[in-house]
Amino acid sequence: MEPLGCQGDGECPSKEACIERDCKNPCLFIKPCHRNADCKVYDTLPRRTMTCTCKEGFTGKGDVKCDKIGESLHRGHVSTGDMNKCSFVIFEKYE
């Protein structure tokens, strides 16, 4: 008796991977990307490859976090030279 379903990504159509013995789009099934990133499946073998790319206007590592370009990302204090004074600044990241 032959096993039901796929056994490897090579048995699946383009842009699909063998997941739980069924051919599925891994971007839709696994959802590996941040909400502000686009997922793309590549037809590599023996396993499909996915990438997560931050959407236009966002920057970061697409599978972890995509921040809007120009938003405040870090807050900190900068010394003014006087040990009793401290100025609050917002550091912005632009790419």
Residues in CB range of 27: below 8 A, 6 or more apart:
33, 39, 40, 41, 50
Domain assignment of residue 56, yes or no: yes
Find the domain containing 17 and state its range.
Answer: 9-92
Cβ distance 16 to 24 under 8 Å? yes
Domain assignment of residue 1, yes or no: no
Domain assignment of residue 50, yes or no: yes
Cis geometry, peptide bond prior to residue 46 (ω within 30 degrees of 0): yes
pLDDT above 50 for 34: yes
Domain assignment of residue 2, yes or no: no
**Cα-based angle 62, 67, 71 (whole degrees, multiple of 5):** 165
Averaged pLDDT for residues 20-38: 96
pLDDT above 90 for 22: yes
Domain assignment of residue 29, yes or no: yes
User: What 3-state DSSP class applies to 19?
Assistant: strand
Distance of CA 86 to the CA centre of its chain: 37
Domain assignment of residue 3, yes or no: no
pTM higher than 0.75 = no
Q: Looking at the 3D structure of the chain, how many domains does it have?
A: 1
Averaged pLDDT for residues 14-20: 96
Which of these ranges, 11-15, 24-28, 68-72, 88-92, has the smallest mean pLDDT?
88-92
Domain assignment of residue 4, yes or no: no
